[in-house]
Structure 1
Amino acid sequence: MFGLLRPCAHGAQKYGIDAAEWRTQLCGLCLGLRDGHGQLARATTNKDALVLSMLTEAQSGSAARTTAAPCPLRGMRRASVATADSPGVQLATTASLLLAAAKIRDHVDDGDVAALTRGPLSKAATRWAGEARASAARIGLDVEPLVAALGAQVHLEQAPKDLASVDNSSLTAEFVPEPLAASAHWCSAMAPSADPLTRLTAPTQLCASEFFAHTAVLADRPENVDALREAGWQFGRIAHLADAVADYDDDLARDHFNPLAATGTTVPEAYDLLRQSNSSLRAAIAAAELSRVPTVRWMLLDPLTSVLRRLGSGIGTVVAHTCSASRDTAGLPHAHARRTGHRPPTRPGIGASLALVLGAYCTGYACCADHTQPCTGERKDAWIKDCDCEGCGECCSCGGDCCSCGDCGCCDCGCDC
């Protein structure tokens, strides 16, 4: 299961939310992928895409639910889940399929998967891209510009030395059609004065911004489109740079492309950009009047603070406290990893590749290999107990016990936490 955002069970309790809401959205997305695109498509489940379903519900004020049949990931229990045909879930399935296709192609091109699985993975990626187009058509989303933007990403990464000479008109004409090519965000990123790193992250930001903006369209809240487009633009940069920081050492060791190394950007400089994007995203969410919605805080704002905190701790930067139920996604020190000795694999081996192709992600492989969320009801309590509260007293201006102040990681004090 791909994804950056991992909401904390303690945060759910703080906001008065049932921690099972995360599972409600996750299972709804998984079943939406199965019902609309077949069993294999469930392997594309992207935890970040849950934010799209959540944002759609937060703006529309409605949350359609259905009772799902027993599943191994729930200990063979039934559960209330988001309906597979709801607009938010359909948008999340589109994002999962499109991003998974791009991610798998990237891994295949980089040689990160066993030679035996490259052919099947490439075929799966092609199929998922086609399924994403079909899913997007059902919800009125023009996905072709987003597919083109991902093509622009490949073009930019293949010629990093020429990034400074890439101009908006030539790149746009070849890869990004109107009307997105004329968007203020894209034109600014591709302007002659733009730095190379900004150009490298622009395609990812473009995709995220349009997905975020479409949540307002589906929720019939046109006044929120611009604000959520801005939030998505910033989220795209956070996701791209966080991944670049996480993979920095491995990419250099294996001679793989890394946007920071390619543009001469240091990790502390990348972290400063992450903080800027986090602040801008929060401002955009507030402009859409969503910053006080508990589910938005729990599933989007707090997890982003957690990401920044973990990355900051790895480079010696003091950042805001936030509860974290996960091991460090960047491979940096974390209390859970120190206690258990658990470390993520540095690259997917043949077992992980076959699991992806065969759909083993749907029957527990990914969840049980990634100790960040409960696989079953029995694991839920253990997950909550492993939620660490570190760095209390450093959160914004609350100046006390951050685990009880109620504002940790999402306060509106104007700082970057």
Structure 2
Amino acid sequence: MLRPCRHGAARYGIDPSLWQAHMCGLCLGLRDGQGQRARAATNTDAVVLSVLTEAQDRAPAVRRTAGPCPLRGMRTARVPVATSAPVQLAATASLLLGSAKVGDHIDDGDVRPLLHRPMRRIAAGWSAGAQARAAEVGLDIAPLVAAIEAQAATERRITATGPSDPAALDDLTVASRRCAAEFFAHTAVLAGRPGNADPLRAAGAEFGRIAHLADALTDLEADTAAGRFNPLVATRTSSAEAYALVRESDRALRRTLRSAELTRVPALRWALLDPLATALRRLGEVVGAPPATAGAAPRSEYPTEDRTSRRPGSGESLQLILTQYCTGYACCADHTRPCTGDRQESWVSRSCGCDQCGGCCDCASCCSNCGCGDGEGDCGCCDCDCSC
């Protein structure tokens, strides 16, 4: 869901290789702990945990030089060491969520029966690895595992009884909210900023709800056609209602982050808030919500293959990582060709009237830079409905 723009980093004075460095550190950390196969569990959204931990710490995580990698064009890179706290926490999240994802694919019938047993072995190994990593960073993930395991029972109950109460959708997002909340909060513990734990826990819960509902919205049509469980169908929640909840969580997340003590605010804005604004704009297109799509590019200017409209299978996850992040140039989510940072007059001039945007991905970065407003509505410097 989070796709930081390489060229957007320049506006914040950030090294554009920061995101790739953290992602490569996570990938190599998974390899060192669980073997080569575990690298497929690399969760690109979990990279934000590594960035968030470092954004609160007084000193960046210790780096090492990683050897040439084909995914980086055979270039070396300076990456956080595998034993550093940011990498360990991101690896824990990747393994835990990867294990749950494999289980979901098996339960949904996306995996051939012949592969069920070996895939469950992989999931069990990743789950054990997550518990070992969590113990090393002092995080108790037993409640998180229990919440994930209870998800299937909650889905069956709501499918059988129907949405008997308005809280049915909240019940379905409990696991996502709780996992994200505890991972966000633990970044404060690892960074030595215990005072940040409560606001980050609240921000993480909102991020978890956004992620869950975003997945439900983008998969709604495919799930309905395939007869798979979808929380919106099960709870009779319309796309417009779900999108309103996503925007509500986005505003709440930004409010709570303001109360956290951060050492590197620009890095967090670039790695989390700007990509989140872009993700909401893309969701607005999916649901056809006019307020959130005022600054969006025409549909014809989006990539032919819309990666937000389908869930990657086990064989596609690594490919998404390669094409979106590792190449070092295909960085702009809404561009059909490598981003140069040049103004895209075909649509940016219509969607943003200010000069702070830089003409790169979209007006989300412009709104994050303008410094106006209180996060409750339009920023005034462009036509998009954003949270500044």
Decide: shared fold, TM above 0.5: yes
- In 2, the alpha carbon distance for the partners of 1:152 and 1:384 equals 43
Q: Secondary structure at the match of 2:339?
A: helix
Alignment of 1:153-302 (within 5 A): 153-160=151-158, 161-162=160-161, 195-290=167-262, 293-302=265-274
1:348-398 deviation digits (Å, cap 9, x = unpaired): 67xx54x77xxxx3xxx4445xx43342x5767963249986555657xxx
Query: Which of 395, 400, 413 is residue 354 of structure 2 equivalent to?
Result: 400
Which residue does 2:87 correspond to in 1? 89
Which residue does 1:176 correspond to in 2? none
CA-CA distance at 1:196 after TM superposition: 0.9
Matched, 1:309 2:281: yes
Query: Which of 292, 300, 306 is residue 319 of structure 1 equivalent to?
Result: 292
**AA aligned opposite 2:76:** R
- Distance change (3 Å), C-alpha of 1:223 and 1:387: farther
- In 1, the alpha carbon distance for the partners of 2:284 and 2:330 equals 29
Two-structure CA RMSD over aligned residues (Å): 2.8
- In 2, the alpha carbon distance for the partners of 1:412 and 1:98 equals 39
1:5-58 deviation digits (Å, cap 9, x = unpaired): 111123112111121111100000011111122111111000011111111111
Which residue does 2:37 correspond to in 1? 40
Which residue does 1:50 correspond to in 2? 47
CA-CA distance at 1:407 after TM superposition: 4.1
**AA aligned opposite 2:113:** A
- In 2, the alpha carbon distance for the partners of 1:113 and 1:334 equals 33
TM-score by length of 2: 0.85
CA-CA distance at 1:154 after TM superposition: 1.4
1:191-230 deviation digits (Å, cap 9, x = unpaired): xx75211111111100100000000000110110000000
Which residue does 2:64 correspond to in 1? 66
- In 1, the alpha carbon distance for the partners of 2:233 and 2:343 equals 32
Q: Secondary structure at the match of 2:325?
A: coil
**AA aligned opposite 2:136:** R
Structure 1: gaps (5+ residues): 166-192, 325-331
- In 2, the alpha carbon distance for the partners of 1:336 and 1:23 equals 23
- In 2, the alpha carbon distance for the partners of 1:111 and 1:387 equals 45
Which residue does 1:6 correspond to in 2? 3
Question: Does the CA contact (< 8 Å) of 1:291 and 1:297 recur in 2?
Answer: no
Which residue does 2:144 correspond to in 1? 146
CA-CA distance at 1:98 after TM superposition: 0.1
- Distance change (3 Å), C-alpha of 1:80 and 1:195: same
Deviates further, 30-39 or 252-261: 30-39
Q: Secondary structure at the match of 1:159?
A: helix
Q: Secondary structure at the match of 1:131?
A: helix
Which residue does 2:383 correspond to in 1? none
CA-CA distance at 1:126 after TM superposition: 1.0
Matched, 1:335 2:301: yes
| Alignment size in residue pairs | 361
- In 1, the alpha carbon distance for the partners of 2:127 and 2:113 equals 22
Identity fraction in percent: 48
Structure 2: gaps (5+ residues): 378-385
**AA aligned opposite 1:74:** R
Question: Does the CA contact (< 8 Å) of 2:28 and 2:82 recur in 1?
Answer: yes
- Distance change (3 Å), C-alpha of 1:383 and 1:225: same
